[in-house]
Structure 1
Amino acid sequence: MTETSSSRPAAGAQEAPPSRLHRLMRWVPLVAPVLLWAVPCWVLLHTGQHWPGAVAPVGTALFVLGLVVMPLAMVRGHGRRQQDGAAIVGDTLLGAIWVLFTWSVLLGALLRAALALTGTGDGQDRARIVTWAVLGTAAVLLAWGYAEARRVPRVRRLDVELPRLGAALDGTRVVLITDTHYGPLDRARWSARVCETVNGLEADLVCHTGDIADGTARRRRAQAAPLGTVRAARARVYVTGNHEYYSEAQGWVDLMDELGWEPLRNRHLLLERGGDTLVVAGVDDVTAQSSGLAGHGADLGGALDGADPGHPVLLLAHQPAFVDRAAAGGVDLQLSGHTHGGQIWPFHHLVRLDQPAVAGLSRHGARTLLYTSRGTGFWGPPFRVFAPSEITLLVLRSPRRAA
């Protein structure tokens, strides 16, 4: 948002000192990783287990090593060096320690209390039971979560009734993929299988709502290339996500155009059948304006410029948070991604602090529906725990359709 003159401090005036909350927030990037590694270390090794020999000191040394290696690997993997091997190590450690932290907290409190209430064993027995329960649960969830992340997503089908949709457009098939996040783990074969699945749905319209990859179009081209094989009866459309703006967004816009997708950069096209019309519009991601990339920025007014206000509007916007503007602009249905459904439980609770919806269909205002996909791929940690990926088939329904 552009700063106005009235918001600037007067000449010679001193800015107010940062609040205590702001000062505390500065420490979060340092404190959070320490807690992620320290809590499981304490619960598994130092709460009365009395492990024999070198178990506790060796285990503690491994946790300290993880605390050091994880951020270093992520910096080398996702920073200027862009080393894929380091990114894989850092991302995997992040996912693993998040799962271990979560279940150390839950089982460390709940299971220990249940064992104490039932009089099971002494303090050492209970501590060791908790340790093995945490390790077993984490191992199972990580193995399952890895398989969930790497598989071709299941198709989620739902009918969506749009009150303003004309009868001739009843049954329009819209396929949504999003957040493919091609990255350090080569998923070219996975990408091809996803596209085969999409083609089997015989869509009128195929949409990709951004976050194609982590990395530049030149670097991830081989993984993205199968998108060129996607078929749609009417159109294939794409909007940018926030991750494009970390990786030369214009390069991704140009590549998608080359692959036969129509980038809806603050513009629209018309889907017409039997005298009825659906406006299909798209906007750049909300982070585009702050990216400094010339000509990029979310502009709903520009996207709908020239469209008949009497026609229903299907809007592509990467982040669900755009829905407030969509509702104010009279949009009928917004399609989004971005949230990954939380990706690794219970991270969805933190996502809710930033987004109005995490997954599924929701209503906003009098007219506007929002569908939020859990995403087709995964970001960073190669795990999905209680947040399955999806390819979405939305069948648009008119209230005036024939019985």
Structure 2
Amino acid sequence: MELDSQATRRPLRAVKITATLVAILLILFSVPWWTLVMSGTDWPTPVTALGTAAFALPLVTLPVMLVLSHGRRHLDWAGLVGDSILGGIWVLFAWSVIGNLVRFALGLAGVDDPARSRWVAGAVIIVSAVLVIWGNREAMRVPRIKYVDVTIPRLGKGFDGTRVVAVTDTHFGPINRTKWSEGVAAAINELRPDIVAHVGDIADGTVEQRRGQAAPLATIRAELASVYVTGNHEYPREAQGWLDYMDSIGWEPLHNKHIVVERGGDSLVIAGVDDATAKSSKMAGHGANFEMALAGTDPDLPVLMLAHQPKQVFQSEAAGVDLQIAGHTHGGQIWPFNFLVRLDQPTVHGLSRHGERTQLYTSRGSGFWGPPLRIFAPSEITVLTLHST
């Protein structure tokens, strides 16, 4: 009877997920369609028909492209098309909502249709187009360097001034960003890091698919350690492959483990745990385990923890970690998505304190996921300079 119940729940769950996705797509497309084509614009019939078709075609195309890119075939060209549509419609949706608020205000000011709605439609199109062009340039550029000072009271004097360079969320994927990756590696090496950390989401795909884009990571040098942890995009299948690859090019994979580095007679524990989604992936031997990561460490030593998601800070706090470095949020990547990210994570970007000891630095990430856009959420390579007092 239990097996029959499970068999019944599976198709029901699939129906619910499908219905939810369809509803989201309809909302994303219908709001800008109404704002630009219908509302009170009173366009000529050919313009209305053409505008409707311009929304209907990508509405049908988007789910097809997502299936082709994320299904068995993993077609990169389909992923690029689907991601571009998704990014464009999100920008149009957001600014159409704002446009409708402006349209309402203009109505109160006595501006009548169709002029009012046509002005709003034109403004939404212009603003969205400018933001998409600018956002693509921001996404494809080598990240800016962001400098952050972090005081860790338990840090030994020998580590005062230590520079930890964090790169995260590179998301090597359908767009060949080998030159971008080379630029990132060169920028990091120019910083002469003491410690360099890749905090997960290295790629969307297998090592075989993304080896060329990831290869420049092998050229990065750090005086004390180069360390890496998995993000959610390494799961559910590719995590071990990326752990092995990073190990093969000279990085230390912190797969629920730690290392101890020394400088000036003092010691620092650098630990790392799997992503928060690792356990649910059902991959044998994977799952964030703070106890395992810190097993055998001297409790008096300061701990630098790499954990991909900011919400893992609550476990870091319980484990007595001094500083956690996280990524995952992309700073929202495309405004105003940052407000939705905040519903799932304790921070979206920046340095924050949790409890008496633990601090968290959340990076906006160095690359991008999905749509090749970054709007009001600039990418970064972070230099965290550690201070003892």
Within the alignment, does 1:78 sit opposite 2:73 as a pair? no
Within the alignment, does 1:248 sit opposite 2:235 as a pair? no
Question: What residue in structure 1 maps to residue 86 of structure 2?
Answer: 94
Aligned equivalent of 2:215, options 215, 221, 225: 225
- The answer to whether the 8 A contact 1:215-1:247 is kept is no
Please tell me the residue identity of whatever aligns with 2:315.
Answer: R
TM-score with structure 2 length normalisation? 0.95
Q: Pick which of 125-134 and 239-248 moved more.
A: 239-248
Within the alignment, does 1:116 sit opposite 2:107 as a pair? yes
- Displacement of 1:115 after TM fit? 2.0
Question: What residue in structure 1 maps to residue 297 of structure 2?
Answer: 307
How far does the alpha carbon of each residue in 1:213-249 deviate from its partner, in whole angstroms, 9 at most, with x for none? 0000111000000000001011100001111114421
Aligned equivalent of 1:104, options 96, 101, 104: 96
Aligned equivalent of 2:30, options 35, 38, 41: 38
For the residues of structure 2 that align with 1:53 and 1:359, how far apart are their CA atoms?
A: 47
* Helix, strand or coil at the partner of 1:197: helix
- Displacement of 1:296 after TM fit? 1.2
Within the alignment, does 1:210 sit opposite 2:206 as a pair? no
Question: What residue in structure 2 maps to residue 170 of structure 1?
Answer: 160
Q: Which residues of structure 1 form unaligned runs of 5+? A: 1-8, 18-22
Within the alignment, does 1:150 sit opposite 2:140 as a pair? yes
Within the alignment, does 1:60 sit opposite 2:60 as a pair? no
- Displacement of 1:26 after TM fit? 6.8
* Helix, strand or coil at the partner of 1:375: coil
The share of aligned pairs that are identical, in percent, is 58
Question: What residue in structure 1 maps to residue 280 of structure 2?
Answer: 290
Q: Pick which of 291-300 and 25-34 moved more.
A: 25-34
- Displacement of 1:25 after TM fit? 7.3
Question: What residue in structure 2 maps to residue 319 of structure 1?
Answer: 309
How far does the alpha carbon of each residue in 1:119-146 deviate from its partner, in whole angstroms, 9 at most, with x for none? 33x2100010010000001001000100
Aligned equivalent of 1:136, options 118, 126, 143: 126
Please tell me the residue identity of whatever aligns with 1:207.
Answer: A
- The answer to whether the 8 A contact 1:214-1:247 is kept is no
For the residues of structure 1 that align with 2:264 and 2:369, how far apart are their CA atoms?
A: 42
Aligned equivalent of 2:224, options 221, 234, 237: 234
For the residues of structure 2 that align with 1:90 and 1:360, how far apart are their CA atoms?
A: 31
Please tell me the residue identity of whatever aligns with 2:98.
Answer: L
* Helix, strand or coil at the partner of 2:259: strand
Aligned equivalent of 2:384, options 377, 380, 394: 394
How far does the alpha carbon of each residue in 1:74-114 deviate from its partner, in whole angstroms, 9 at most, with x for none? 110122110000000000000000000000011112x2133
- Displacement of 1:379 after TM fit? 0.2
- Displacement of 1:275 after TM fit? 1.8
- The answer to whether the 8 A contact 2:236-2:283 is kept is no
How far does the alpha carbon of each residue in 1:135-175 deviate from its partner, in whole angstroms, 9 at most, with x for none? 00100100010000000000000110001111111001000
Please tell me the residue identity of whatever aligns with 1:387.
Answer: A
For the residues of structure 2 that align with 1:141 and 1:342, how far apart are their CA atoms?
A: 15
Question: What residue in structure 2 maps to residue 198 of structure 1?
Answer: 188
Please tell me the residue identity of whatever aligns with 2:83.
Answer: D
For the residues of structure 2 that align with 1:300 and 1:350, how far apart are their CA atoms?
A: 28
- Aligned positions of 1:358-397 closer than 5 A: 358-397=348-387
Please tell me the residue identity of whatever aligns with 1:113.
Answer: F
Q: Pick which of 220-229 and 292-301 moved more.
A: 292-301
For the residues of structure 1 that align with 2:236 and 2:122, how far apart are their CA atoms?
A: 41
- The answer to whether the 8 A contact 1:151-1:190 is kept is yes
For the residues of structure 2 that align with 1:65 and 1:285, how far apart are their CA atoms?
A: 37
- Aligned positions of 1:316-355 closer than 5 A: 316-355=306-345
Aligned length, in residue pairs = 383
Please tell me the residue identity of whatever aligns with 2:19.
Answer: W
TM-score with structure 1 length normalisation? 0.92
For the residues of structure 2 that align with 1:131 and 1:341, how far apart are their CA atoms?
A: 28
For the residues of structure 2 that align with 1:312 and 1:132, how far apart are their CA atoms?
A: 56
- The answer to whether the 8 A contact 2:162-2:386 is kept is yes
Q: Which residues of structure 2 form unaligned runs of 5+? A: 10-14
Please tell me the residue identity of whatever aligns with 2:73.
Answer: R
* Helix, strand or coil at the partner of 1:131: helix
